[in-house]
Amino acid sequence: MNSAAPSYLLPLLQLSDSALPTGAFSHSLGLETSLHRGQVHDEATFADWLTQFIRIQLVHSDGMAIRLALEADTEAGLNRVDRELHAAALPREVREAGVKMGARMLDIALAVAPSAGLGRYADAVARGECAGHPSLAFAVAGKSLGVPLGELLTTYLFSTATSLTQNAIRGIPLGQSAGQRVLRAAHGEVRDAVVLIQVLERGDFGVTAPGLEIAQMQHERQRARMFMS
């Protein structure tokens, strides 16, 4: 019996590949500050950091942005999500990481899964009306491909967790097997995050936590750095 995969599966796999050249390998998003302080130094402490990062930033910023982008039924609605996401990133390096990786993700998505919606978002970024963010380029591409929200969120969150784990493997350093154990253990956290993102209220968009923000701000002043954020 034939069982065809949905037509969106291959583009989705390509766009959620953690090795996608968006520059994610050079952004620790605050992890490097915790490494520098000695708070993250092994498999267990990195797993703890990753859990908190998923619960704070991936749920309330990237994840909610994806959901709100799918819910937006006008271009103005999408632009508002972009504006709020950018404004909610107070630490300068996190804001700049979003813009840089957003531009790369847009280019790649336009090549992998071109659509009118993606073209309009790219134009809004080029005009300066939108700042651009990888989660939104990913969401707009996924929306035109017809990817269900749960799959779109799961792949984006897990891809980001994988990129950060690869950065931890280089930065701590950690063995490849340890990295895979952390990622396997993160399955439950990602599953919970996907459910949570779908029940949060609009006012939860962009919520963050002081400890993470301070680490992300302090990174600007760290002397020896492997990462840009």
Partner 1 sequence: MTAAVTSAGGGPAFPRSLPAQSAAGRLGLLGASSGNTGSATVGRLAEPSPWAGTLSLSIDRRGDKSIAVRQHHAGALRILRPHYLDGSGQVCYVVINPGGAYLGGDRYLIEVDVAPGADLLLTTQSATKVYRTPGSRAEQHTHVRLGAGARLELLPDPLIAYREASYRQVTTVDMDPSASFVMAEVLTPGWSPDGKLFRYDEIRLRNEVSVDARLRVLDNLLIRPRTGSPVDGMSFMDRHTHLGSLLVMDARVDGVLVDELHTVLAPMDPQGQLGITLLDGPGLALRALSRSTEPLNEILAAAVDLLRRRWHGQENLNLRKY
Residues that bind partner 1 (CB under 8 A): 30, 34, 37, 39-40, 44, 47-49, 51-53, 55-56, 59-60, 80, 83-84, 86-88, 90-92, 95, 185-186, 188-189, 192-193, 195-196, 199-218, 220-221
Q: How far is the CB of 30 from partner 1 (least distance, A)?
A: 8
Cα separations in angstroms, 168 against 13, 42, 151: 23, 9, 25
Place of tokens 């703890």: 48
Residue pair 18/163 in contact by the 8 Å Cβ criterion: yes
- Does residue 173 have a cis bond before it (omega within 30 degrees)? yes
- Minimum distance between the CB of residue 11 and partner 1, rounded to whole angstroms? 30
Nearer to partner 1, 144 or 160 (CB): 160
Q: Which is nearer to partner 1, 47 or 66 (CB)?
A: 47
Cα 102 to chain centroid distance, Å, stands at 10
**Residues 6+ away with beta carbon under 8 Å from 148:** none
* Cα gap 28→227, rounded to integer Å: 6
Name the minimum Å distance from CB 173 to partner 1: 19
CB of 221 to partner 1, least distance (A): 7
Provide the token pair at 100.
């840089």
Q: How far is the CB of 215 from partner 1 (least distance, A)?
A: 7
Choose between 17 and 48: whose C-beta lies nearer to partner 1: 48
Q: How far is the CB of 168 from partner 1 (least distance, A)?
A: 14
Q: Which of 220, 212, 161 is nearest to 31 (CA)?
A: 212
Please tell me the distance from the alpha carbon of residue 180 to that of residue 197, in angstroms, as a whole number. Answer: 25
Give 127 or 202: the residue with its C-beta nearer to partner 1: 202
- The CA distance from 52 to 77, in Å, is 29
Question: In whole angstroms, what is the distance from residue 172 CA to residue 4 CA?
Answer: 42
For partner 1, the closer of residues 30 and 134 by Cβ is: 30
Query: Minimum distance from CB of 171 to partner 1 (Å)?
Result: 15
Contact by Cβ (8 Å): 172, 40: yes
With respect to partner 1, which residue has the nearer C-beta, 87 or 126? 87
Q: Which is nearer to partner 1, 83 or 170 (CB)?
A: 83
